[in-house]
Structure 1
Amino acid sequence: MSHPRTAVVTGASSGIGAATARRLAAEGFHVFCAARRRDRIEALAAEIGGTPVECDVTSAESVAGLAAAVGERLDVLVNDAGGAFGSGPVAEADTEDWRRMYEVNVIGLMQVTRALLPALLASGAGAILNVGSTAGRTAYEGGAGYTAAKHGTKVVTETLRLELWDQPVRVMEIAPGMVKTDEFALVRFEGDRERADAVYAGVAEPLTAEDIADAIGWMVTRPPHVNIDELVIKPRAQAAQHKVHRQG
């Protein structure tokens, strides 16, 4: 009797994380839905037959609790917990916003990976998939705190791949461009709906969380010898960070 495949998705309370948890459950994984908002992950876990784990990735103690809940073996880890806070120029940067972005997008990702790596190795064919961003590749005005953090995500991923080259675990990154989710832009602009909506103004079809989850589902279900190092994914309307087709 083979064990059911297991997956951990951080940031599972909304957006890409929630969509990914649903997608992996559809692929036959038992999903540990990890996030800070207990009510959200309890509802999601009930919907997909997974396990909710209240977890703040920036807290080592909280992450240790996640590792304990997962147990001795794990097939897939999707590090999706992240976020952008603020959009001021460097000259007016909010130190706390920058610190929060680094804590969640880099330190948090490291802590979760470090805690779950023994279980991933124990599976004999583990997969680590980090959710980066095109912001981890291209600078843009007003984005320095976020672009710095997401460049961090990218480089941690590259370093992990080098360090784990002889181990039975794959290390991958997906780097989405413009994705319209319920909360991402709203969080960035501190609840300013008008500014959040302006990001997507005139863009007929930005990517959805489901588009990204679809790609993640494909990446982590390749045969164990196939490592999708990085997948950059953007809507057709977005040729580059600064070049977006807007109608009207």
Structure 2
Amino acid sequence: MTPFPSQRRHTLFFLDQIRDFAPVHLDTEVDATALTAVRQQAREAGSRRSVVAHVVFAAAGVLARHPEANSAIQGRLDPEVANFDTVSAKVTLDRELDGRRVVLATVIPDLQRATLADVQAHLDRVTAEDPNESPEFAPIRALRRLPWREALERFRAAAGRLELRPAVTGTFAVTSLGNSAVDGFHSVGGTTVTLGVGRIVDRPVVRDSKVVVAPVMRLSLTFDHRVIDGAEAAGVLTEIKEALEAVQ
């Protein structure tokens, strides 16, 4: 038996926090032909546009039109629902903290006013920073130094306040394993809507009654059934898919 690694304390606290979540999972496939072409054009122009940045940007535009999905719930006996007037994304990051590989997250705020370049700049900044020194992850490092019970209580206090959700957890979440041999997966990000991004891989598709090969990306959406129903979630996922297939 070994002590639980303090570097992953925040992950354990997060999983404790979302025990009441009522997840339902949806899946779709995105024809990534246009997305792949746009990313190649950006590379040739000397800039970078990641798949995650495109997904965040597309989803933000859709959720701005779906306030019911851009919301959060709190409480059981007397539940409250907050419909946020801003859109923010929690994006998971595969990083190393004090010598241990961990999942960290960054929140990209005010996406209702952001451009795709703004989203990419935020992601580039946090991925270039050292989690052991970056102010972005100072609260995570602080949790490690506190006694276990005090750290858990502070985490619950911050994550449990509806008015703090956009800044602390985002109003939706995006997590990607597309840099590995993962086609699709489902995740609960602590928000009403969580998007799971798989890899882009060539697959047979039908176009004009003919089978051709095209790049395809599997995209999942996990939603909290306490907050929205399947039809609303399906509409959100469909619109995100359409936005990604129409990028220019």
State the TM-score, normalized to the length of structure 2. 0.26
Q: Which has a greater percent of helix?
A: 1
Q: Which has a greater percent of strand?
A: 2
State the TM-score, normalized to the length of structure 1. 0.26
Higher relative contact order (CA 8 A, sep 6+): 2
